[in-house]
Amino acid sequence: MLSHFSAQIAQLPQRTRLMMLIMAAEARGDLRHQMRAAERLGVGVADLGEAETARLVQTIDGVLAFRHPLIASASYQNAPLAQRMAVHEALADVAEDPDCRARHLVALMPDPDAGIADELAEAGERARACAAYGAAARLYEHAARVSTAERQRASRLATAATMALTAGRFALADRLAAQAERRPVEPADRAVLARVRAAILVDDNDLRGAARHLLDEAERTTAEAAPALLLAAARHGWLARDASLVRAATARLTALGRAETLAQGLVELCDGDYARALPTLTESLRKHLASLSEAVEDDHLDSVRPLAAITAFATGDDAAALVLASAEVSRCRDAGLIGELPQALESLSRVQAVQGRHREARAAIAECREIAGDTGQLHRLTGLYGVEARLAAVEGDEELCRRLVEEAPRGSLDGIEGALVLLDLGLGRYSSALERVVPPPHGPEQVTWLCTSVAADQVEAAVRLGTPEAVETHMLSLDAWALTAAKPWVRAVAARCRALFSGREEDYTTALRLHAEGDRPFERARTELLYGEWLRRCRRRGEARDPLRSALAAFDRLHADPWAHRARAELELTGETVIAAQATARKPADRLTPQELQVVRLAADGDSSRRIAAQLFLSPRTVEHHLYKAYPKLGVGSRRELAGLDLT
């Protein structure tokens, strides 16, 4: 079709073709702007007569437009380069809007000119303020190209790279950063480029490389910029499970006189000094949560908060981790930070999974994968494999769990090994569960082993095998962890493990009392199951039924089929008849896909399709499509009816 339109346009008079080129280059349909440029070039609306006769252009409600978008493409692409540049120059000269003028200056490809460079940079800054990060990157790139000073060129390229990264365009960010690095770079701009380069390394699943690069660049930047780089280095070092990198970053922060409690606490965790680390970190996290509620704006806090979210999860503070991860997701949505949103969603899904919020976790995972796929960030999402594998393990989906483990890139973040242990335990393969993971030494891996309950899973496997002596080291670690952890679920799990060792009822009841204050329903149900089994073995069948019923209800809610099967079998051994219909009825939200659920929840809160689209980085049309698909599944016909549904 394009060639057909090109042939038609070629038959028109030169003045008509020039007038059509002005329309195509202006691109916004601003007739006044087009006519001012046409006057500058010696043509006018009368020259469009033959184009109208040929039905290439038309007037609709007083607006002059091409009949088909491909006609505009053909008009522009078939014009000589010199003529296109002349048209853009005229459009730039008569533009009343500075951003419109900047757009046409970009198309001109001018020689170095400090004035034009400043105009383009100012337009880039306006684009950044509107969260149009892709446009800002393009404008800063062109500003750099026409800048007259090399250092200013490097600075503008660094800004362009940051904007490209924020827009999720990693390949462009990589190219722009490489261009900047070939020029003389000011120390402050080195920090900007270091963050870009580190993000690209993380995108390549090289967390250690990212941490080392940040450590190196912190030496070359300003004292004001270095702490943010070092905090990021500590974060990447922890996620890479490399205690030496965490220690190096923390030591450098201290040497700069910018000691950070969270980083120092992570070092103490690496050393196994839980008695010092956990109380200090708990107090530090409390202050960070307060800063969120007070809406404190502080560049240093913005640098620390990603580390705070990781620390909260590492210390077992699920409530703080949920608040911090949710706040980071909201920040990314509100500011349009599509490049940062996938990692924020990944962190959120991890804490949602352990809190039994499986539906919400899957919705976050689905959105994370979609955005990452659209922006080419799939390598960054290694941690999602662990989250999804854990969900599959809880539900006893062996095929999915093993497939995720096989597909996970080398160096995946925590969760994969623990998911396999949990899967084996749920399916009664106790030897495999016990042997699959060797107790790690002090450091990030041991903290992960503890806070994801892998240690507790292996204790249960050993006791069921009749070899509790095989997990004495596990119990020592759990007791040391629980002794100083203020988190009820941590102390509850440790008490449950002691009950398995001791067979004392008070250990079971202590665990259940603590679970009542905690946030992990799956762990609570497991304790109820074990307590119910213990009561039945003690011939206290009537007393066993209440904890077993509670466990069964929780396992059914979580679709934890292997565990529900065990709870159901135990109940039947107490003399109670249990039918499959006892399983929790499906809620309306169960019928929706993860993305449909996200859209419906926002619509139920009263958000418009346009606002929902902005938050989820979708088009309004896609939002309407999801609502159209969701309504019949929910048995409703309009948005107004959504508010009355249970969408949890």
pLDDT for residue 410: 64
Percent of the chain at pLDDT > 90 equals 47
Chain segment 252-290, per-residue pLDDT in tens? 999 999 888 889 999 999 988 988 888 888 888 888 888
Return the structure tokens found at 541.
């069948």
Question: 324-328, 375-379, 530-534: which range is least confident on average?
Answer: 375-379
Which of 289, 312, 335 is the last residue before a domain boundary?
312
Q: Which of 145, 148, 26, 47 is nearest to 93 (CA)?
A: 26
Which of 76, 97, 118 is the last residue before a domain boundary?
97
Query: What confidence category does residue 121 fall into, taking pLDDT thresholds of 50, 70 and 90?
Result: very high
- The residue length of the chain stands at 648
Rounded distance between C-alpha atoms, residue 130 and residue 124, angstroms: 10
Number of domains in the chain: 3
The highest-confidence range among 102-111, 224-233, 379-388, by mean pLDDT, is 224-233
Please report whether residue 52 resides in a domain.
Answer: yes
Work out the average pLDDT over 356-380: 83
Please report whether residue 598 resides in a domain.
Answer: yes
pLDDT for residue 300: 64
Same structural domain, 81 and 192: no
Q: Which of 598, 595, 583 is nearest to 647 (CA)?
A: 598
Phi/psi at 602 (5° precision) = -65, -40
Residue 348 has pLDDT above 60, yes or no: yes
For residues 471 and 462, the answer to whether their CB atoms sit within 8 Å is yes
Same structural domain, 93 and 204: no
pLDDT for residue 378: 63
Please report whether residue 307 resides in a domain.
Answer: yes
Please report whether residue 292 resides in a domain.
Answer: yes
pLDDT for residue 92: 87
Rounded distance between C-alpha atoms, residue 634 and residue 420, angstroms: 35
Question: 21-30, 575-584, 636-645: which range is least confident on average?
Answer: 575-584
Top pLDDT among 442 and 560 is at: 560
pTM of the full structure: 0.79
Rounded distance between C-alpha atoms, residue 419 and residue 416, angstroms: 5
For residues 344 and 329, the answer to whether their CB atoms sit within 8 Å is yes
Residue 182, class by beta-carbon neighbours within 10 Å (0-12 exposed, 13-18 middle, 19+ buried)? Answer: exposed
Please report whether residue 257 resides in a domain.
Answer: yes
Chain segment 172-216, per-residue pLDDT in tens? 999 999 999 999 999 999 999 999 999 999 888 889 999 999 999
Rounded distance between C-alpha atoms, residue 327 and residue 289, angstroms: 10
Question: Whole-number mean pLDDT of the chain?
Answer: 87
Chain segment 549-607, per-residue pLDDT in tens? 999 999 999 999 999 999 999 999 998 877 654 444 456 777 777 778 778 778 887 78
For residues 248 and 265, the answer to whether their CB atoms sit within 8 Å is no
Rounded distance between C-alpha atoms, residue 174 and residue 198, angstroms: 10
Task: State the CB neighbour count (10 A cutoff) for residue 223.
Answer: 11
Query: What confidence category does residue 62 fall into, taking pLDDT thresholds of 50, 70 and 90?
Result: low
Residue 303, class by beta-carbon neighbours within 10 Å (0-12 exposed, 13-18 middle, 19+ buried)? Answer: middle
For residues 511 and 492, the answer to whether their CB atoms sit within 8 Å is yes
For residues 185 and 154, the answer to whether their CB atoms sit within 8 Å is yes
Work out the average pLDDT over 226-231: 94
pLDDT for residue 413: 41
Task: State the CB neighbour count (10 A cutoff) for residue 608.
Answer: 13
Amino acid at 543: E
Please report whether residue 394 resides in a domain.
Answer: no
Amino acid at 104: H
Residue 249 has pLDDT above 90, yes or no: yes
Please report whether residue 259 resides in a domain.
Answer: yes
Same structural domain, 194 and 93: no
Same structural domain, 296 and 193: yes
Work out the average pLDDT over 50-71: 84
pLDDT for residue 586: 58
pLDDT for residue 461: 95
Helix or strand or coil: residue 275?
A: helix
CA torsion, points 8, 10, 15, 21, in degrees to nearest 10? 80
Question: 67-81, 333-347, 564-578, 610-624: which range is least confident on average?
Answer: 610-624
Which of 48, 78, 97 is the last residue before a domain boundary?
97
Please report whether residue 152 resides in a domain.
Answer: no
Question: 9-13, 98-102, 407-411: which range is least confident on average?
Answer: 407-411
Range of the structural domain that residue 622 is part of = 588-644
Residue 298, class by beta-carbon neighbours within 10 Å (0-12 exposed, 13-18 middle, 19+ buried)? Answer: exposed
Return the structure tokens found at 234.
């500590």
Return the structure tokens found at 430.
């106790």
Residue 299 has pLDDT above 70, yes or no: no
Rounded distance between C-alpha atoms, residue 424 and residue 434, angstroms: 9
Helix or strand or coil: residue 187?
A: helix
pLDDT for residue 486: 75
Same structural domain, 305 and 193: yes
